[in-house]
Structure formats: structure tokens, C-alpha cells
Structure 1
Amino acid sequence: MAYYSTNITTRSSSTPRTPPLLFFFPTVVAFLFLIFCSSAYGSRVGLSSSQSSSEAEALLKWKATLHNYSNHALRSWKLTSSAIPCKWFGITCNKAGSVVEISLPQVELQGTLDNFTFSSLPNLLSLDLSVNGLTGAIPMHIGCLSKLTHLDLSNNNLSSVLPPLNNLSSLRYLLLYGNEISGSIPLEIGNMKNLIDLDLSQNKLSGQIPHSLANLSNLVSLMLYQNSLVGPIPHSLANISKLEKLWVNDNQLSGPVPLEIGNMENLIDLALSQNNLSGQIPHSLANLSKLVYIHLFENQFSGHVPQDFGRHASIVTIQLADNLLSGILPQQICQGRLLERFNVETNSLLGPIPDLRNCTSLRRVRLEKNLLVGNISDSFGVHPHLYYIDVSNNRLSGELSSNWGECKNLSTLKISGNNVGGKIPPEIGQLTRLGILELSFNKLVGEIPKELGSLSALLQLNLNGNQISGNIPIEISQLINLELLDLSANRLTGSIPAQLGQCSQLFSLNLSRNSLNGSIPSQIGDLASLQAQLDLSHNSFSGQIPP
């Protein structure tokens, strides 16, 4: 599809002229639609009984072309003496007996739309064939449905390019996601001024996002994610003042984010992630007072995160991971105290973690692989809803607080690769939902708390690379679901508890580089699941190696 410059007045005289016939192409298409659609049902505008009969015939003709025409959902589709389809499954009629709605989602239809005589259904308002097995192209004659307000063909296997749809001037909902539609987004969609919801996501669309979409002044939701769209995000999209949801993630978009997006005062959900966008995160995004979700991860954004980012009370999700961001994180990131998901992993962020002690709304936090510093206890408190936190591979210091034991929903706690010292708080043993505990490569001292044996859901326990001393607690053997145990590179002494053989799910066991002694328990040899790793090297064991 060719794209015409919006700056027509600046074209030089040397610019090749578009062939005159192309200017008339949309008019020609519209004229052909008019002839086709009017000829198909123009002679049947009279009696409602005649119209109902033609509607029934059109539906039965399409049913006969389906691969599974005997589908249970369509058993009621039979020609009777009245020939009125209003009592058929999935069919709704108006008072005059004309079909106004076809609703057949998730009924395992298989076939094409090629033989669906849309022109025989002039009063159709809603067509829902979503979540079926329809294949082939969307027919051009679907444009005959001039009264249609709702079109849902999502989650099928439809392919080819989009036909001209501008004749569907009444359409409010256009849902075509989850198909295999290719080609570019037709410029003519910008003429469908009544559209509220446009979803073309999860297809194979290519080319650029057309500027003409900015004409959709009533649009509330624009979903174009998971395609192969390229080029910049059009500045003109900011003109869609009613837009609440903009998802263009998982494409190949490039260039900076337009500053004008900060003027979209009704925006609630912004997803630009998994593209090739670059430049700085616009400060204007902090002006979006209604913004609840912002997803910018997996791009090439650089520079600092705007310091007034997250100051509005509405923000719930901030996803900035896997970029090239630097500088200090905004210290008032949870000022509204509604923040639930905070992810800035794999950047080059400096300075302290924002004070999140009063951010009790937190559910998921990922700050790993940065250059963050400061006392970890100054940043976190009691978070009753928190289930996942990873602050690994930073430069954090301080000691682990007993408050972690009050975060009752924690399933993953990762603080590896920092400079955290002190002892492991025994209160961590209260986390009955904890599945992963990683505290490796820190400066932890003292003994392994026997209370860790109460972590009945624990799958992975990594304490390696610290200065932990004392014996391996017998209570560790109570961790019957444990799959990975790594206590290597510490200062552990004593013998390996024979009861460790009760951890029948162990897949990897590493006790190397300690000062363990005595004989290796024969029960270790009974661990049939121990397939990935068994490393007991660099200790002071004696006796024979168990068979």
C-alpha cells in the first residue's frame, strides 16, 4: 500500500506525480460497492416476509459450505414453511422479522466466508464469529453491511489482506485480532469515524501505522500489538483525545516516543514494549494523570527516568526493564500508594532504591541487574501482597530485616549478588508459600536458621558464596519438595545429615568449598532424582564414596 505525504504543499515539482487514476480509486471502489450491494437486495426492500426468506436462504447457503455443516450449534438452521430464521440458534431479529444479529462465538465453525451473501442481510447490526476455525480472506462484499456496528472475527485463521472497510460507516467495534491477516493497515480505516474499539493485534500486518488513524476521534481503544509494524509512532495519534488504551507493543517500531503523547489526558493503559524505540522517556508522560499501566520494556530507551514519574495516584504498573536507562530512580515512585508491579531490571540505574516501606500495595518488584546502592532495609517494609521480588546483582548493603517474615504471600525472594551482611532472619521461616530463596554471593554470617525447615513449599535454596558457618541443620530434611540446594563456598562444618536423603525431589546438590567432614551418608546415593549436579568437592570427607 502506498503512503501519501501529509505535507503535500511542500512537495517539489520534481516529485513524481501519482497517476491520476489512483486518486479516483477509492471512489471507484465505493461505486462498485454501491452497485453490488444495491443489486443484491434492492429488489427485496419491500415485504418483510420476502426479506426474511432471502435472509434464511443466504444463511443456509453459507452453512452448506462449512466443512462441519452438521455442527450441533447449527442444527436449528433448517428451512421451514415460514422460512423465518429468527428462532435459529445465534440469530436475533428485529420486530419486523429481519436479522439484526448473528452471534456464533466458540462453536467450532470451519470453513470460509466466501459464500456468505452479506448483501442479503441489509439490517445486520452485529456479527460475532469469533474463536472458530474460519480460514481464507475477509470478503470484499462484507462492506455491504452498511448498518453494522459490531464486527468480531477474532481468533480464527483468516488470512490475506484487509479489504476496503470504509463503507462500514456505522461500525463502532472492529475486532480482528488473533488471525493471520497480512499487508498494511488500510488508510481508509481512518474514515470510520464512529469506531470506538479497533483491535488488529496478533496478526501479520506490516508497514507503518497510518496517520489517518488520528481521524478516529471517538476511538477509546487501539490495539495493534504483535504484528510486524515498522517506522515511528505517528505524532498525530495524540489527537485522539478520547483514547484510553494504546497497545502497539511487540512490533518493530523505531524512533523516539512523540512528546505529544503526554497530551492524551484520558490515557489509562500505554504499551510500547518490545520494539526498537529509542531516545529518552518523554517527561510529558508524567502529565498523564489517569495513567494506570505503562509498559516500555525491551526497547533502547536511554537517559534518566523522569523524576516526577509515578507521582500521580493512579499508577499501578511501571515496566521499564531491558533498556539503556541510567541515573537515579524517582524517589516518589509510589506516591499514590497504588503501585503493584515495578520492573526496571537490566538497565544501568544508579543511586538508592526508592523508599517503598509504605508501598503496601506492591505485588511484584524486579530491580535486578542494575547499579543500585544503599541499605536494603531503608527501602522495604512489610508488604502483605508481595509475591515476587528480585533485587539481585546490584550493590546493596545493610542487613536482612525480620520484616521479610511478615510478607506472607512471598513465593520468590532473590537478593543474590549484593553486599548484604548480618544473619539470615529466622522469621523467613514463616513464609509458608516461599518457593525460591536466593541469598547467594553476599556477606551473610552466622548459622543457617533451623526455621528454614518450615518452608514446606520451597523448591530452591541458594545460600552459596557467603560466610555462613555452623552445621547444616537437620531440619533441612523436612523440605520434601526441594529440588535445588546450594550451600557451597561458605564456612560450614560438621557432617552431612543423613536425613538429607529424605529430600527425594533433589535435582541438584552443591555443598562444595566448605569445611564439612565425616563420611558421606549412603542415603545421598539413594536420591534417584539427583541428575543435574552433585558437588561435594573441596571438603574434608573421609571413608568410602557411597555406591
Structure 2
Amino acid sequence: MSKPLPFIALFSLLLLLLNSPPPSATALQLGIGIGIGGGGINIGGGGGSPPQQGSCPPPPRPFIPPFPPAPQMPPPLNQKLLALRQVILRFKRTITCDPQRVTNSWLPNTSPCSYTGFYCGNPPKDRTLTIASVDFNGYGICAPTINGFLDMFSDLALFHANSNNFSGSVPDVSKLQYLYELDLSNNLLKGNFPMTVLRIQDPVFLDIRFNQFSGSVPPQVFTLPLDVLFLNNNGFYYNLPYDIGATPAAYLTLANNRFTGPIPASIKNTSNTLREVLFLNNRLSGCLPYEIGYLKKATVFDAGFNLLTGPIPCSFGCLTSIQQLNLAGNFLYGKIPEEVCELGSLRNLSLSDNYFTEIGPVCQSLVGTILNIDQNCIPGFPKQRSAFECQAFLSKPKYCEPKPYERYPPCKLNGYAAAPARELPAAAKTTVAAPDHSPVYSTLNKRNNHRQL
């Protein structure tokens, strides 16, 4: 009868526990070791698993974003950039107008490499970062001088400043050892030809058109290793230097000046390089040189509105690449050469305002489409000069009789390829074909710039 007592004692203890307030989790673990789990009652010294029904998980820890990295300070400017920054800021103080607010970015505490119009690079000999190019094209900046500015950039390779209002003279650029492109076009610069450009070591591009330069052009400029030489729309005068034939330039403009004298026969020496040349609107005189016919790579030859005289040499039939040939507004006479009208690449032949008297069938087929013969002395064609005017001119002595060797085109004498024959009838065309895009004709627009960074 004594065996059931432990069971009764255990049952009594359980009733006592169920009727008492619920102990804390700590008391259950540290007391008699009773834990109530999801599967029943466990009794032991190690306690049971905590209750899972009705319990709330702790709230998630709030996200704290990491601190942003500290901004990296730009590297300090080297001595060259520090010095050039002062040059630029000093020049800024002389500027009297800045319509595009270019100088707003020229600040004293920033790198000049970030200034509008300035570009940095590493020169070949000294790899120190410096200003390598300046591009002010079209900014319209006004300044009384660029002396003390342009000449301070010892590592400059390019300076482009088309269409600004820079006055004064051209600074000494002879110490700019890397300079090879200089564009000062469409400004207010004046004085004689800037001789300092002759001391540039290896220039390839020189554009000083649309300024107020005057005087003669030194022959040395035609010995510079230039690809492009634009001198038009200034006040240059005197004869063209004989050394013009020494130029390696492919594009040459001397238009709208006051040059006098003949076109030098030395132009023959440019036969392998010259592509476009403008002598337009000067005071050139004398006979058209036979040697022009050697310019087999020329696509544009314009000597319009001068004082040139004589017949067109037969050598012009060897201009195998010519597209635009303008001889209008001179004192030319005789027969228009059929060889010229047969040139296969010809797009525009302007012979108006001369004194031509004859025209052959090939040339006749081009009239009104490619060929303009207005205001000549050709019988049977409209818009010609009066008989009185023609007689007055034709009665004067003529001095341009060709030499014996000039009676034959050089391309036939030397055996190089003749021009491709024109397909006839060309008169079926209804409009005058414009020449292909021409760099030299675009120079007659002063706001056109020919180099852009």
C-alpha cells in the first residue's frame, strides 16, 4: 500500500504549480528545472526550451548608413600651371567684353585645365602637365592686346582665336617651341606682316585673314612648311614675291588685298602640292603665265577681278583636276580654248567681263550651265559688250604673244596623263553645278574657322 505515495505526491505538486502565478523564464531555469514546451512537460535539472507560441521576435536593428568617404582633395597644381593661372587671371582683368561669359569659369582657386577655352596636356620633352591648346573661336572677347598672354604659354601647340576683338600687334611667338597652328583670323590686329611667325619652328597652319595688316608679305613666308596659308582680306600690297612657288601649302588664299604685279611663273613648282588658290580681287597685272597649266592637282584656281591680260594659255587644258576656274573681271581676249572646256572635272568656268572674241563648239555647249561668258565681245551671244567698247580695247597693242614652246600643252609635251574627256552634250544640264566644298572659298566668310578642338 506504500507504493502509490510518490505518484500522489507528484500529482499534488503539479496541481500546486498550475494554480500558482506563472514564473519568469529565469525562475524556471534556475528553480526546480521544470519547463513547459510545445510537446508536454519536461522535468529535469537543465530546464526546458522556452515557450514558442505567443512570443514576439525582437524588432530589427535600424539601418545606419555608413559615413560617406571623405572627398579626395585634387592634387596640388605644379609650378607651370600655377604660373599660367596667374597669366590667365591677369589677362582676364584686361578684357572689356565677354558676351558668352567665358571668363566666368576662370576662377582663382581652380585648375586652369578646367577653364573654358583651355586644354591641358603633357609636352613631349617635359611630361609635366601644362596648357597645350587654347581655343577661343567665336567667343567675341574684347581685349586691347594679347601681348603678355599668348607669348607666355611656352608649351602651347595650338592657338585658335577666330572672331574675337583682339587689338594691337601679334606677340613674339618664336619661343613657343611646340606651336604649329596659329589662327588669329577676324580680329582687329594691325601693323605690318607679323614677322615673328617666321620664327615658328614647324608651323603647318597659319590664318591671319580679316585683320588690318598692311605692307608687303615677306618671301620667307612661302618657305615655311605650311599646309594652309590664309592671308586674305587685309591691306597687303606690293608685288607678289617670286618665291610664292616655294610654298608647300595645299590651300593658299591671297584674295581681297592690294597685291600688284604678275602672277610669278614659279607657281609651276607647286604642281605636286597646291590644291586651291585664290588671287581674287587684287591688282595683279601682266599676262596669265603658261606655268599655271602645271598645277595638275589644283581643284580651284581663282584670279578673278584683277588687271590680267592676254589669251588663256593652252596649258590650262592640262589642269586635270580643276573644278572651279574663275578668270572673270580681267582684260583677257582671244579665243576661249576648247581644251579647257573639255576638262572632265570642270564644274564652273567663269570668264565674264573680259574681251574674248571667239568660242568653239565644245565651249558653246557649256554656256549657261558651266560656262559664263557675259560681257565679252563674242558675236551672236546675248549680254555682250557694245561694239564701241570692244573696238576700243581690241585696237590697243597686245604684249602677250606665246613663246614657241607655249604653243603646246605641257601635259602633251611631257607625256603625263591628259584630262578625261567631257561627256557631251553638256548643254542638257539646266543649272550651274557648284564646286565641291572648298576650304579656300569658305575663308571669304570671316566667321568660318577651319580648325576646331
Match of 2:318 in 1: 287
Q: Which has the higher contact order (CA 8 A, sep 6+)?
A: 2
Gaps of 5+ in 2: 1-75, 123-127, 388-424, 434-453
Q: What amino acid is aligned across from residue 111 of structure 2 in structure 1? A: I
Equivalent positions of 1:107-256 (< 5 A) are 107-139=139-171, 141-164=172-195, 165-193=197-225, 195-217=226-248, 219-240=249-270, 241-256=272-287
Percent identity between matched residues is 23
Length-normalised TM-score, structure 1: 0.54
Q: Which amino acid aligns with 1:107?
A: Y
Alpha-carbon deviation of 1:64?
1.7
Superposed, 1:20-59 pairs within 5 Å as 49-59=78-88
Per the alignment, do residues 382 and 273 of structure 1 end up closer, same or farther by CA in structure 2, a change over 3 Å counting?
closer
Q: Tell me what 1:305 maps to.
A: 336
Query: Residue 16 of structure 1 aligns with which residue?
Result: none
Q: Deviations over 1:472-528 (max 9, x none)?
A: xxxxxxxxxxxxxxxxxxxxxxxxxxxxxxxxxxxxxxxxxxxxxxxxxxxxxxxxx
Q: Deviations over 1:252-311 (max 9, x none)?
A: 010011111101111110000110001111110111110000000111111111121221
- The separation in 1 between residues aligned to 2:264 and 2:386, in whole angstroms, is 34
- Provide TM-score, normalisation by structure 2: 0.64
How far apart are residue 156 of structure 1 and its match?
Answer: 1.4
For residues 212-250 of structure 1, the C-alpha deviation after alignment (integer angstroms, 9 at most, x for no partner) is 332222x10110000011111111122113001110110
Deviations 1:180-224 (A, max 9, x none): 11111122213312x01100001111111112332222x101100
Counterpart residue number, 2:406: none
For 2:367 and 2:180, the matched residues in 1 are separated by 37
Q: Pairwise CA RMSD of aligned residues?
A: 2.7
Change (3 A) 1:57 1:211: farther
Does 2:105 align with 1:79? Answer: no
- 1:428-443 equivalences under 5 Å are none
- Whether the 8 Å contact between 1:200 and 1:224 is mirrored in structure 2 is yes
Which structure 2 residues correspond to residues 363-512 of structure 1 after superposition, within 5 A? Answer: 368-369=383-384, 383=429, 385=431
CA deviation string 1:31-57 (max 9, x = no partner): xxxxxxxxxxxxxxxx98111122222
Which residue of 2 is the match for residue 101 of structure 1? 133
Q: 1:342 corresponds to which letter in structure 2?
A: L
User: In the alignment, is the contact (CA less than 8 A) between 1:208 and 1:229 conserved in 2?
Assistant: yes
The amino acid of 1:224's aligned partner reads L
Partner of residue 306, structure 2: 275
Q: CA deviation at 1:382?
A: 5.8
Contact 2:367/2:373 (CA < 8 Å) preserved in 1? no
Residue type of the alignment partner of 1:316: R
CA distance, structure 1, for counterparts of residue 356 and residue 145 of structure 2: 49
Aligned to 2:390: none
Q: Is the 8 A contact 1:211 1:236 kept in 2?
A: yes
Distance 1:350 1:304 in 2: 12
1:127 and 1:53, CA in 2 relative to 1: closer, same or farther beyond 3 A?
same
Question: Does the CA-based 8 Å contact 2:336-2:363 persist in structure 1?
Answer: no
Residue number in structure 2 paired with 1:434: none
* Residue 330 in structure 1 maps to residue 360 in structure 2: yes
Q: Which residue of 1 aligns with 2:449?
A: none
Match among 89, 94, 98 for residue 65 of structure 1: 94
Partner amino acid for 1:64?
Answer: R
Distance across 2 between alignment mates of 1:235 and 1:129: 35
Distance 1:291 1:276, change over 3 A: same
Q: Which one of 374, 379, 395 corresponds to residue 345 of structure 1?
A: 374
Give the drift of 1:383.
4.5
> Aligned to 1:159, what secondary structure does the other structure show?
strand
Give me the whole-angstrom Cα distance separating, in 2, the residues matched to 1:70 and 1:305: 52
Partner of 1:7: none
- Count of residues paired in the alignment: 314
In the alignment, the residues of structure 2 paired with residue 256 and residue 384 of structure 1 have an alpha-carbon distance, to the nearest angstrom, of 34
Task: Using the TM superposition, give the Cα deviation of residue 313 of structure 1 relative to its aligned residue in structure 2, in angstroms.
Answer: 1.2
